[in-house]
């Protein structure tokens, strides 16, 4: 699958690349691990020149610098901006001491959108995300404010990020019944080390026609191949606590061991195998890749070129099998859930069509 093999996002008519370029590392305002503006621009152009068209950022990324870098560059070429599906988010507080300068309330949403438009140097945002669920604000208020932005032409599509499945479902039903802009996309963490989303979020998105764009498909770099069992504890991750907890768990290295073995079998890299696995999962539209350097971008993009066998997919599914909340384990093992018509000599057959395949969730 080439980067230019565009896929419609959810039930919308918006076509996006199978890999989305994440811009969280654009700018060094959060520390030296980020990319300089010059390196960021080079990465943007390499991605776009390779056929990619989907870039994701947020108002809070590197304190707004990420949006500014994108705006300064894309605004120089109207054709480039026109072809780019530009996504950004609201939620993070951008003004200390102001209780209304963050969250999902109408006052912040409208103000944040205007500020993002200013930094991005554009008059519209292709996909506007609620960055995180704000349980202090009625979801109707958040939805109506986002719908007003769509009606005003400042936003084309809306999406939710990091919101529980039951709240996304409630919001989508409200939007549908009231004729407001529907939730087109869902951004959630999904990787071989974070598969609990297969319990509720992934099947919910598939049922409601919402396109999924996974973030952190390499679990903050833990699945990049840089951290191995034989050098455990010797390499300090640049993102500190974000990754240190993952690297302290034995299961991480169980998964990494299999990734390394499969990468050797197909003459590839662990990162490419991990990214390829995520993009192949049912319901996934476009996986967000974060590249701080050009070499990381090149390696990530090459993940679209590899082919994993059924045996290799099975090994990855088994070593990363998640423990899901009730009732998923109960249903999986319950004869009452399985199709009674699929019997062989009075016993349930292994190819039961009701039970999902590994990686599909429940």
- The catalytic residue positions are 61
Residues with Cβ within 8 Å of 33's Cβ and at least 6 positions away in sequence, in order, are 25, 238, 239, 292
For the chain, state the CA radius of gyration. 21
Inter-residue contact 304 to 23 (CB < 8 Å): no
Instruction: For residue 52, count CB atoms less than 10 angstroms from its CB and return exposed for 0-12, middle for 13-18, buried for 19 or more.
Output: buried
């Amino acid at each position: 699958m080439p980067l230019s093999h565009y896929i419609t996002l959810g039930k919308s008519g918006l076509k996006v690349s199978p890999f989305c370029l994440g811009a969280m590392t654009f700018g060094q305002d959060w520390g030296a691990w980020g990319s300089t503006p010059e390196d960021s621009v080079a990465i943007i152009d390499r991605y776009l020149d390779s056929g990619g068209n989907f870039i994701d950022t947020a108002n809070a990324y590197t304190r707004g610098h990420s949006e500014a870098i994108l705006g300064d560059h894309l605004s120089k070429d109207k054709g480039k901006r026109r072809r780019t599906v530009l996504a950004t988010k609201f939620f993070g507080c951008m003004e200390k001491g102001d209780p209304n300068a963050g969250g999902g309330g109408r006052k912040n949403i409208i103000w944040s959108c205007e500020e993002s438009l200013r930094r991005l140097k554009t008059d519209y945002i292709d996909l506007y995300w609620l960055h995180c669920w704000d349980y202090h604000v009625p979801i109707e208020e958040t939805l109506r404010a986002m719908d007003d932005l769509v009606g005003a032409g400042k936003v084309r599509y809306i999406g939710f990020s990091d919101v529980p499945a039951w709240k996304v479902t409630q919001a989508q039903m409200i939007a549908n019944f009231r004729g407001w802009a529907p939730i087109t996309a869902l951004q959630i963490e999904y990787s071989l080390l974070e598969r609990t989303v297969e319990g509720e979020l992934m099947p919910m998105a598939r049922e409601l026609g919402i396109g999924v764009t996974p973030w952190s498909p390499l679990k903050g770099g833990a699945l990049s191949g840089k951290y191995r069992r034989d050098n455990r504890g010797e390499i300090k991750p640049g993102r500190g606590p974000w990754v240190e907890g993952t690297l302290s768990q034995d299961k991480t290295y169980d998964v990494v061991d299999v990734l390394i073995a499969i990468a050797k079998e197909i003459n590839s890299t662990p990162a490419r195998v991990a990214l390829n696995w995520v993009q192949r999962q049912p319901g996934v539209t476009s996986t967000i890749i974060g590249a701080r350097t050009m070499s990381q971008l090149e390696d990530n993009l090459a993940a679209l070129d590899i082919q994993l066998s059924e045996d290799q997919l099975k090994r990855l599914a088994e070593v990363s099998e998640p423990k899901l909340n009730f009732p998923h384990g109960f249903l999986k093992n319950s004869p009452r859930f399985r199709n009674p018509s699929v019997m062989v000599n009075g016993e349930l057959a292994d190819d039961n069509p009701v039970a999902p395949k590994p990686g599909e969730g429940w």
